Amino acid sequence: MTERRKRLIEVAFPLEEVSAHWARRPLAACRAFIYESLIDDPEDDREREDLLKEVADLASWDAVRKPDLVVRTKANGGSGLTGRQLLERARQRILACNGGKPPRLLDPFAGGGAIPLEALRLGCEVEASDLNPVAVLILKGTVEYPQKYGRPLAEQVEQKHKGDRDSIAGVNGEVPGYIRDADAAAASSAFARDAGDGPLARAYGENPLATDVRYWGNWMLERARGELALFYPPDPDGSVTVAYLWSRTVPCPNCGAEMPLIRQYWLARKDKKKVALKPVIDRESRRVGFEVVEGENVTGDPTQATTSRGDTLCLLCRQVVKAAYVREAGWQGKIGAVLTSVVLEARGAGGKRYRADIPEDTDVFERASARLVELEAQNKADFPLVPDEPIPYDPRKIDVELYGLDQWGKLFNQRQLLAITTLARLVGEAHTQMLASGLDTEYARGAATYLGFAVDRLAAQGSTLCRWDNTGESIMNTYARQALPMVWDYAEVNPLSGATGDFRSGLEWIRAFLDPWMPTSGMERILVSRRDARFLGDSNAEAVITDPPYYDSINYADHADFFYVWLKRSIGSFQSDLTLLPLTPKKDEIVMNVYADGRAAEREGREIARERYVDGMGSAFLSMRHALDSEGIGAVVFAHTDPDAWATMIGGLLRAQLIPDASWPIDTELENKVSRLGSARLSTSVWMACAPRLEGAEEAFLGDVLSEMRPVIRERLLYFWSKSIRGADFFISAIGPALSIFGRHRRVLKPDGDEVTVREFLDLVRRESTQVALEQVLSGADLGVVDSLTRHYVTWVWSYSRAPLDAGETIALCLATGADYGDAVRPGSIAVEVKEKSKKMVKLRTIRERATKDEDLGIGSGARVTPLIDQLQHAAYLWGQNRPDQLTAYRASLGETRWTATRTLGQAVAECLPEGDEDRRLINGLLGSNIMAAAARAPVQAAAAATRAAARAARAGAPLPGFEAEEDGDG
């Protein structure tokens, strides 16, 4: 078989430019990666350099949002082309590399649609599929409907006349009468020359889909206002209620009072605005109420309220109630709620203000509850008005079920349910009116689906799991992170308020996506379907590019149910093929769901779940291989730190004979401040370009493979280092280059004839990459004197800062650094095992924690050679305790060689530890002391300066200077 031609993605990629701040969004990475996967490498350095400039420009935000402006990026001056020119040139180049016809691209885990959207933009024919019906509906909303109906009406009519389409927007290709009526009502006849001249009609001609979504969304809102306004009354002064703030309650087992469960009392916490709740205790009625205090009247510490980690203080009897009691109360139906305050906004006055609850607030809420009961009694649908579908069991990610919130409808209070069920019903009514107005059936189905999305968005912004953000004075989304944690004090949005988080803001969010939708050439085709990735068939696709599920990161179907139960009730009447199932399918979902079989023991469930994931992902990769043309290219995106996750994915790729030729760590993992707290995770996604293994691949021995693999790993890692790839991302980025060598062979054998497993391969890669990393971090140091425990500590803080790791990942790090896991976690050593939600984790001990256990930090314990990290931390501890005589004596006992190595290590560790870290303060103090300075020599100064420069450059995101030794005056 002849060797296939190389694609540009297998040779080069503008990593720094695409990962730069201005391009840090997944769409940019998708666009650049897909483009390079579909064009040939020019095999000429100068041509390749010019082409990479175009790729970098194409990945910019302005290329699609401001298509008629020249794109100006940092890509060596850029290409000098406009966004429109860049896209057209990219499409023509792709056609030229594919024999003049649009390439077919498959994405079997299409999810939110980023890859299919960018493939369409580049002129591909796209097949996008997913097993989950919510994902399929999102795909229709992001790629199918805009591609069909988001282009100008005249263009749609022309395509229909040519026979290129069956369905078009409007009424027989004309602006609908209701649009013209709306224009006529909005303008006086003196200014309207004819019925088709209004702004709404002009907008319809440009983008009928966006205009219809806006029109019918407002139609729904006005009818909802007529039904719901009395349950969201303005204040007597006309101020509009933005949100109602609630606290859950449980009865105190000691005194019987209703205990508010409040995490903190802050309402507004800004530099020039301080507002907080203050509890008011009425001992006679055994009630706890609240008043609102501002400015200087805010006393005490509002961050400390009644509840912490589920344990609650009763403000009347001062007894602390444990979390287990609160959980039991939830299952007994004893968790209630009390209104604490109301957030108001005066029209035109600017800013929000707060007041305590009043009796009228409770009366209105009770009337809303009564109305919901009436509507439930009148419900004639095939399923209950309020979702009674069960919430799945997953104590890692779904805390609410532990407190008795075991049905999706229980995540909302009665007024929230009244609002959402009303709007869900109005979606169906709007769809009926669309058809009655003469709109095409398929088009009306698409337009009305977005109205269902707006209701789903309101549900996500309007559950009892939405916190009040006191720094931004806004309501946080239910899914502020990919979990459903219990929320004790929540914010209830007013869906009619006109403020952020209401129903109209959901419509605006959709309109903002649809309005500037970048039209493609019009000749592309998109096929969206609900399909199992294990059964793709033989598609002869030129590319299969996908972002598969990340092992055990999230059980997608469990969380999709939150949205699915409302979609059933809003769009089920006209999207029946995607809403027929009771809940989203979970049995065939390819994720490592430990709790797929309910409340099975976690240990048993984990092994079963792992086997399911291994089998499922392996079958999916094999199906992708069969779907590829013999000259085609595959690509997978992965972002996980767990060695088991990588072993599973790589094993599946190798069994499917899909061999990564190149891998690129691209910065696309945007996280909000909630999701990233206390987690050790990648900041990049690793994009791996894969090619089918050539026929006739032979076996090879490990020694030969390592000889070929080591220089490749080193060359790639030094390149990635120069592009500021750091920490866990650095280690993961070595996998692809190594795999391109390892995977060429049918089998890799050890000297005894046994096959090298994928896990053993990963251990080898990590060991090699750790060596490269330590050479850079400890630049100038003799690595021969750096012991394994010190290597382990330095690699940890450089890779993960102080984030805890699970035990498996810690063991993998020990293997890479040559450290003994038992030695690392022994009493008094550098790390300690801890339990977090039934999972064994390992965290680094601080110097102070180690000194508490053993003041000598392990120094002089038997015949054991003292690790350098112990020496450093012991010396830093003595400096922190102001014991100069002991420190001087200790330095003398080490000798100059060990003391110099300790100083060099201190420079590296201090730069790796985060700002404000206590250990960093102690080590920096030691480094600046006279005792340490007396041992300084010029070579050590140079090495320390290089280390500091490297760390500063890494934090600044700048390329490294090359590690040249420079004099540093800090001493």
Tally of CA atoms within 13 A in the half-sphere of 932 that contains its CB: 25
Residue 880 lies in a domain: yes
**DSSP structure class, residue 300:** S
Q: Which residue carries 């591609």 as its tokens?
A: 147
- The predicted pLDDT at position 723 comes to 79
When pLDDT is cut at 50, 70 and 90, the band that residue 521 belongs to is low
Residue 838 lies in a domain: yes
Looking at per-residue pLDDT, the higher value among 859 and 851 belongs to 851
How many whole angstroms separate alpha carbon 70 and alpha carbon 72?
A: 6
**Of 827, 769, 833, the residue nearest 805 (C-alpha):** 833
- The predicted pLDDT at position 695 comes to 78
Residue 855 lies in a domain: yes
Is 24 a residue whose pLDDT tops 50?
no
Q: Tens digit of pLDDT for each residue in 35-73?
A: 999 999 999 999 999 999 899 988 887 787 788 888 876
Neighbour-count burial for 163-187, b at 16+ CB within 10 Å, e otherwise: eeeeebbbbebebbebbbebbbeee
Q: Tens digit of pLDDT for each residue in 553-571?
A: 788 999 999 999 999 999 9
If you average pLDDT over residues 873-888, what whole number do you get?
92
Q: Are 642 and 808 in contact (CB under 8 A)?
A: yes
When pLDDT is cut at 50, 70 and 90, the band that residue 940 belongs to is very low
How many whole angstroms separate alpha carbon 66 and alpha carbon 79?
A: 16
- The predicted pLDDT at position 428 comes to 98
When pLDDT is cut at 50, 70 and 90, the band that residue 530 belongs to is very high
**Of 816, 466, 514, 510, the residue nearest 641 (C-alpha):** 816
How many whole angstroms separate alpha carbon 726 and alpha carbon 760?
A: 23
Residue 249, classed as helix, strand or coil, is: strand
- The predicted pLDDT at position 348 comes to 65
Q: Which residue carries 């009390």 as its tokens?
A: 338
If you average pLDDT over residues 452-465, what whole number do you get?
98
Q: What is the largest CA-CA distance in the chain?
A: 100
Q: What is the mean pLDDT of the chain?
A: 86
Q: Tens digit of pLDDT for each residue in 687-724?
A: 899 988 877 788 999 999 999 999 998 998 888 888 77
How many whole angstroms separate alpha carbon 766 and alpha carbon 125?
A: 39
Q: Tens digit of pLDDT for each residue in 377-401?
A: 999 888 899 999 999 988 888 999 9
Instruction: Name which of 517-526, 686-695, 951-960 the model is least confident about.
Output: 951-960
Instruction: Name which of 648-662, 670-684, 693-707 the model is least confident about.
Output: 670-684
Residue 685 lies in a domain: no
If you average pLDDT over residues 964-970, what whole number do you get?
32
- The predicted pLDDT at position 663 comes to 84
Residue 348, classed as helix, strand or coil, is: coil
Residue 894 lies in a domain: yes
- The predicted pLDDT at position 645 comes to 78
- CA atoms 82, 87, 88, 92: torsion sign: positive
Instruction: Name which of 577-591, 754-768, 860-874 the model is least confident about.
Output: 860-874
When pLDDT is cut at 50, 70 and 90, the band that residue 970 belongs to is very low
Residue 550 lies in a domain: no
Is 677 a residue whose pLDDT tops 80?
no
Is 131 a residue whose pLDDT tops 80?
yes
Tally of CA atoms within 13 A in the half-sphere of 718 that contains its CB: 10
- State the residue range of the domain holding 926: 778-956
Residue 839 lies in a domain: yes
Is 950 a residue whose pLDDT tops 60?
no
Is 678 a residue whose pLDDT tops 50?
no
- The predicted pLDDT at position 676 comes to 32
**Of 742, 746, 653, the residue nearest 706 (C-alpha):** 742
When pLDDT is cut at 50, 70 and 90, the band that residue 675 belongs to is very low
- The predicted pLDDT at position 553 comes to 75
Instruction: Name which of 30-34, 265-269, 605-609 the model is least confident about.
Output: 605-609
Could you give the percent of the chain with pLDDT greater than 90?
55
Is 506 a residue whose pLDDT tops 70?
yes
If you average pLDDT over residues 578-582, what whole number do you get?
95
Instruction: Name which of 84-88, 130-134, 339-343, 955-959 the model is least confident about.
Output: 955-959
- The predicted pLDDT at position 618 comes to 93
Q: Tens digit of pLDDT for each residue in 161-189?
A: 888 888 999 998 899 999 999 988 877 54
Instruction: Name which of 149-153, 420-424, 593-597, 608-612 the model is least confident about.
Output: 593-597
If you average pLDDT over residues 782-804, what whole number do you get?
85
Q: Which residue carries 């309109």 as its tokens?
A: 511
Compute the C-alpha angle 366/367/372, nearest 5°. 95
Number of domains in the chain: 1
How many whole angstroms separate alpha carbon 467 and alpha carbon 462?
A: 10
- The predicted pLDDT at position 523 comes to 56
Could you give the percent of the chain with pLDDT greater than 70?
87
- The predicted pLDDT at position 952 comes to 47
Is 958 a residue whose pLDDT tops 60?
no
- H or E, element range at 529: strand 526-530
When pLDDT is cut at 50, 70 and 90, the band that residue 764 belongs to is confident
Q: Which residue carries 């995977």 as its tokens?
A: 743
How many whole angstroms separate alpha carbon 658 and alpha carbon 626?
A: 10
- Tokens coding 690: 């894969």
When pLDDT is cut at 50, 70 and 90, the band that residue 295 belongs to is very high
Residue 805, classed as helix, strand or coil, is: strand
- H or E, element range at 906: helix 884-912
Within its chain, how far is the Cα of 213 from the centroid?
28
Looking at per-residue pLDDT, the higher value among 580 and 18 belongs to 580
When pLDDT is cut at 50, 70 and 90, the band that residue 23 belongs to is very low
When pLDDT is cut at 50, 70 and 90, the band that residue 752 belongs to is very high
- The predicted pLDDT at position 679 comes to 40
- Tokens coding 141: 């909303």
Q: Are 728 and 799 in contact (CB under 8 A)?
A: yes
Query: Computed over its alpha carbons, how large is the radius of gyration of the chain?
Result: 31
Is 253 a residue whose pLDDT tops 90?
yes
- Tokens coding 934: 């007396």
When pLDDT is cut at 50, 70 and 90, the band that residue 933 belongs to is low
- The predicted pLDDT at position 192 comes to 44
- The predicted pLDDT at position 189 comes to 43
| Strand pairing class (489-493; 240-251) | antiparallel
Is 835 a residue whose pLDDT tops 50?
yes
- The predicted pLDDT at position 935 comes to 52
DSSP letters of 820-872?
A: -HHHHTSTTSSEEEEEETTEEEEEEPPHHHHHHH-TTTTTT-TTPPPPHHHHH
How many whole angstroms separate alpha carbon 936 and alpha carbon 930?
A: 10
Is 210 a residue whose pLDDT tops 80?
yes
- Tokens coding 289: 């109420």
How many whole angstroms separate alpha carbon 14 and alpha carbon 56?
A: 6
Is 782 a residue whose pLDDT tops 70?
no
Torsion-angle region of 421 (φ positive above 0: left; ψ -120 to 50: alpha; else: beta): alpha
Q: Are 478 and 460 in contact (CB under 8 A)?
A: yes
- Tokens coding 914: 């985060």
Residue 854 lies in a domain: yes
